[in-house]
Structure 1
Amino acid sequence: MRLLDITHFYSEKGGGIKTYIQNKIEYLKDKEDIQHTLIIPGEEDGELFLKRTKIIKIKSPYFPFNNHYRLLINPVKLSNILKQEKPDVVEIGSPFLIPTVVNSKKESLKYKTVGFFHSNLESVVENINKIKGKIIVKKIARSYTYKTYSNLDLVIAPSYYVKNYLLDIGVQNVEVIYHGI
């Protein structure tokens, strides 16, 4: 099986997603029947191997107001990598741009999609803008989250609290898998 992970939320400087991915790489190192590829943003384009995982870095700018994370914004390059790698399963670890690109190629490239709900967009937007309680912000964030995750074959939530949030906004096919960090 060919498993391909894509995320914005991988930082060389550390963090929970980096730990999650490193644990997955460690777990998969002895799984001969699984070919694992990881696409992450980087300072420059590049390719390397860590254990048995192929890591593809796509040159990406930093997130606005945050120099720990970079934003994958090259849909053409991402599409070309999906075609080249021919995955059976694509795991999406970010709600921005990546799901749109991955879902647009899903039928033609015949892969299944899994989304790991690492970050609650509604809370992030509220915290950044200090606009807690604004109904319009909640509606927009919930609508975006629904549109982003409802087209995936499976959505993974890190807790039952998050699973219930996703179910409440209409996202189906949600299962709980703890990060294990």
Structure 2
Amino acid sequence: MHLVDTTLFYAPHSGGVKRYLHEKRRSLAHTPQVTHTLLVPGASDALIAGGISTLAAPRLPHRAGYRWPLRRRAWRAALIALAPDLIEAGDPYLPALASSDAARQLGIPAVAFAHSDLPRLLGRYSGAAGVRAGEAWLRRLYARFDAVLAPSQVIAQRLAAAGIARVSVQPLGVDAEAFHPRQGVLDLRVQLGLPARTRLLLFAGRLAAEKNIPLLRAAVRRLGAPYHLLLVGGRDARRLDATTSMLPYEADTARLAQLIASCDALLHAGTQETFGMVVLEAYACARPVVAVPAGALPELVDDAVGVLAADVSAAALAEAIAALYARDRAALGAAARARIERDYAWPRVVAQQLDTYRALLHQPRPAALAGVAL
């Protein structure tokens, strides 16, 4: 089987989708009779079957190195030239259109992975009209695909409610060896210039608006010393105020795992998470998580492995943080690690995906796919 993944959610400092693709490649490299190719935007055209292929696309200003593809025909031609047996599109934009074009021409299955929540994104700018427009676009787009994968129940339910068929849940995973409690170091507080008794919380990821960084900072400020928040995702290393420090984004998995494993817990207030891969990374490091009840986070965070705040507010989040420190954090971390080993290690997740792909390869494609034009 030659599998091609394609997406524009791929940049030098991009997050969960890129990690998913790289971990998938690493797992598939050890799978007999499977070849995996990526096709992503880059500075130039370079097709490498079994490698990371790129098509030239302009860089988006102030968007962490992301590029926006403009050449649908070139994208389709590149996919056809790679001669895949199955294509997975990881965004709802031009690469997805080109994927469905190429799949129809080749007579092969096309899978869409809903890594983003386009209707809610448009809704932030255009309200209910934006949500409706996003749902209408996804209905037309995903009708061209043989299957639609959602990383969480909440996204699967939203897609189904929008009238999208053939949706199934495919959770993401984590590298349980790279993210491991043994990666922790004892002197991180010293490195940060903090007292040894500091109750150190961490957030790792893009410092984007939907991550609600001001809410995280407000919650920790309400608690005051000895609580301290470490934000891993900035441009430089600096102290922001008495209760918050910042470190640059860590593309180095080993360093990111070290930081997570050296803190007490992960703190997450994102309201638009379609999955929340950093939560799994914290669990793999045997660290509990404090989160808000929004997006897919309630599917991952429960009383066995952390604390879910009562609502999305600084007061509720501060209360949840304090509640965490009143519990046995070592026991919570051990339960979190056990959950990863049972359900979310990448070999298990990728094996589940391969079952889906093989089923698609052995079944007739729905005739309706041929009649949808975009």
| TM-score category of the 2 structures, normalised to the smaller one | 0.7 to 0.9
Unaligned regions of 5+ residues in structure 2, if any? 174-276, 278-374
> SS of the residue aligned with 1:5?
strand
Task: Tell me which residue corresponds to 2:109.
Answer: 112
Indicate yes or no: 2:45 matched with 1:45.
yes
Change (3 A) 1:48 1:3: closer
Task: Tell me which residue corresponds to 1:6.
Answer: 6
TM-score (normalizing by structure 2): 0.44
Task: Tell me which residue corresponds to 1:18.
Answer: 18
Alignment partners' CA distance in 2, 1:33 and 1:39: 20
1:42 CA displacement = 0.8
Find 1:92's aligned residue among 89, 92, 95. 89
The 5 A counterparts of 1:27-176 are 27-47=27-47, 53-63=50-60, 66-127=63-124, 129=125, 131=126, 134-176=127-169
Counterpart of 1:108, as a letter, is Q
Alignment partners' CA distance in 1, 2:42 and 2:87: 20
Counterpart of 2:40, as a letter, is I
Is this contact kept in 1: 2:47–2:82, CA < 8 A?
Answer: no
Alignment partners' CA distance in 2, 1:13 and 1:90: 24
Aligned CA RMSD, in angstroms, stands at 1.8
Select between 104-113 and 56-65 the one with higher mean Cα deviation.
56-65
Alignment partners' CA distance in 2, 1:80 and 1:43: 18
Is this contact kept in 1: 2:40–2:54, CA < 8 A?
Answer: yes
1:65 CA displacement = 5.2
Counterpart of 2:17, as a letter, is I
Higher relative contact order, chain-length normalized (CA < 8 Å, sep 6+): 1
Measured against aligned partners, the alpha-carbon deviations of 1:29-62 in whole angstroms (never above 9, x if no partner) come to 111311111100012223568xxx4111111112
Flag the structure with higher helix content: 2
Flag the structure with higher strand content: 1
Change (3 A) 1:3 1:60: same
Alignment partners' CA distance in 2, 1:109 and 1:172: 23
Unaligned regions of 5+ residues in structure 1, if any? none
TM-score (normalizing by structure 1): 0.88
Larger Rg: 2
Q: What percentage of aligned pairs have identical amino acids?
A: 27
